[in-house]
Amino acid sequence: MSREIQIDFDALKAFLNGYNLSHLLNDASFNSFISQQHKKYFAYLTFIAEIQNFIDNPDYSNIILTTQIPFLKESCSDTGISFFSTFHGSYKSSKLLLRSSIETFLKGYFLDIIADIDKESSIYELFRKIKALPYCSVEPSKSIIDLIHGKYKMLCQDVHTATNLNMVNLSALNYFPSFNKDEATKVSDFSLVLISSYLTLLSLKYNEQFHGFHYKNRKIIINSIPRQYRLMINNIEE
C-alpha cells in the first residue's frame, strides 16, 4: 500500500471513529421528518409480521401463499434500508431503494394471480401484465396501481440521472451525516405515498386476515392508510 493510500485510509478510519448522528436530533425538521417516516415504516413492518400468521391458511377465501412472503418481506426491507439511508443524508440511494421496493412489492402482491411474475425482468412488462388484470381495472385498485406506477417512473429519473436535478455530485465522505430539508422532503413524498399504497392494497386484498390481526396492530396499520379507504377496509358503508 502506497504512503498516500495509507494516509487516506487512516483518515477514513478517523472519520468512521468520529461518525455520529446525535447532532441531527437538535434539528426540529429532522425529527419531524424521521417521525413521519417511522410511522409508515412501522405500520408496514407490523402488517408483514401479522400476515405471516396466515400463510397458506385454507380457512380464508383469499389465501396468501408461502411464495409471496419473501417478496413482501424484501419490499419492507427495502423501505427500511431507504429510511435508514435518509438518517445520513444519502437521499439518492434512498430513492433507489424505494424503486426496488415497488418491484418486490408488486411481485409479491400479484404472484398468486400471475404465477410467473417473479421471473419477469422487464418492468415495462411487469406493469403491463398487472394493469391487464380485471382486478386492476376497477377502483380503488386501478387508481392505486396508477399512483405507484407514476412514482416508479419518477424514481427512474434518479436511476438514470435524467437531469442535473437528479445528480448528487458528492466527492467526499465527510458530507455525511447531514440533513437537507428540501431533499428529505422529496424522499418523504415518495416514501409516505408508496407505503400507504402498499398497506391499502394489502389490507383490501387480505381483508379477512386483516380483521384477524391484534386490534392494536390493526389501529397502527389503519392510521397509515389514506382516510378515503379506511371505511372500505373496516367494512363500513358510507
- What pLDDT shows up at residue 162? 47
Q: What CA–CA distance (Å, rounded) separates 61 from 82?
A: 34
- What pLDDT shows up at residue 99? 96
Q: What CA–CA distance (Å, rounded) separates 152 from 103?
A: 9
Asked if 86 contacts 190 with a C-beta cutoff of 8 angstroms, the reply is no
pLDDT tens track for 78-133 = 999 999 998 888 888 999 999 999 999 999 999 999 999 999 999 999 999 999 99
> Whose grid coordinates read 377496509?
233
> Whose grid coordinates read 396492530?
217
Q: What CA–CA distance (Å, rounded) separates 142 from 153?
A: 17
pTM for the predicted model, two decimal places = 0.90
Cβ partners under 8 Å of residue 70, min gap 6: 108
Asked if 39 contacts 188 with a C-beta cutoff of 8 angstroms, the reply is no
Query: Angle formed by the axes of helices 91-110 and 141-159, to 10°?
Result: 140
Q: What CA–CA distance (Å, rounded) separates 33 from 100?
A: 22
Q: Which residues of the chain, if any, have pLDDT below 50?
A: 162-171
Q: What CA–CA distance (Å, rounded) separates 174 from 165?
A: 22
